[in-house]
Structure 1
Amino acid sequence: MPFSRREDSPSEKTVLELLSRSTPDTVKDLPRKDDILYFQGDEALFLYAVSSGEVLTLLESPFGDPVLWEILDRYDAVGGFAILLGCPYPATCRALTPARVFGYSRQKVWDLLRNEPGLFESLAKGIGDRFQSFLSRLVYAQKNLEDRVLLGLLYLYRKKIRSAPDTSGPVVLEITRSLLASLSFTTVESTIRITKKWESEGWLDFPERGLIRLLDIRHFLDRTSYLSMHESPRAARSQEKWDSRMNPM
């Protein structure tokens, strides 16, 4: 099987389990950054799952630069919205780092969904969760610059701890400030200015080009606890779960 299960949300576990039950119809290597997996508007032939590396999706716009939709890494699925609704891919997908993806045909996905009650709902829920995350960013696009950049960092942090939940020390995010600016709906210049300010405050730094290191996680979570539409990691009902992640035995 190309995938093994890991500790994710229930919807993600189910989708990964679905994909691992069948052999991929195609395997695509994206050896260079910015290699294209598919373009916005292309016919949706496959649901893809990231085997290694990272890809990102971009919404093309006739009015300016493309809007960064999301960053996807190992085990993430991309193209599910188009496969479920039978529409073209709604965004362009390209490599952020060298990557390999497995592709599952529309027919194979639907055959598996028909044979597994509840999988359609689980796949749709996973897509809905990602829309919710994007809508959170759209809401805060009207807020002050610091909130927008913080929300971009929070999005990346949550993806990072999902794949490495036992991290108790500093967390390193693999992203340039240019990409963080796009993720946060602001300019590169503003992102550099704000992150330099935070560096002077001592809770993040830049160990090398393309990396942002969160040095004080509790300070970061306190700064971001009010930003997301999703349940905050600092909320009382989830405090115990997050504390166990922050302080593994």
Structure 2
Amino acid sequence: MRPADLAREHGISTQAVRNYERDGFLPPATRTPSGYRVYTEAHASALRAFLALVPAYGHATAGGIMHAVNEGDLDRALTLVGRGHEQLLRDRETLNTVRKAIGSLTSGPAPGTAAAGWSIGELAHRLGVTAATVRAWERAGILVPPRNRATGYRVFRAADIRDAELAHLLRRGGYSLEHIATVVEQVRTAGGTESLAEALETWQRRLTGRGLAMLDAAARLSAYLASGP
């Protein structure tokens, strides 16, 4: 096969095929005496596997899996696959956590919240993020904590902590700060969770799509392994 033969199946350029070989996502091609690349069905199978892995695990991990397979390190490849499934499971658990929290987003203090409120350091510690991250959320309009008049320090009340926890959960879902600010503002001002529910449905569809992509990628990768790379 020529580079054009592999490229045509996926609607990509011949240069992309060459680049994938150069980057180690495909095994090295043999060359004709005049220097032209010659690909086999194994190369075509490798390309199918790599392109299926990208939407399932991301470009970097997909490349790492193909590198490991082509270098004969199957255990490393399977470890990367396993980590991807583990991340998907964590994301599903996070989504379920957000769904369960919807009913209490607009009422009741956060557990352990002192009457005087929390400092930025205490909030960051609760969420497992840095104070710089909390400040970034504030700059994005997600958080609007009042200031202590005497010290000028931020004071995070129960509603602020609720908004911060919601922001943290949605960031895990891959949402931009701009989108999260819109959701939090609507929940904050209207007391409703329609925007959040819509965001969660979108997130659910993305997780389902990634899970299906992983199934397809597994089949493509298995076929490539069967070709004896």
What TM-score comes out, normalization by structure 1 length? Answer: 0.25
Where relative contact order (Cα < 8 A, 6+ residues apart) is larger, the structure is: 2
What TM-score comes out, normalization by structure 2 length? Answer: 0.26
Point out the structure with the larger strand share: 1
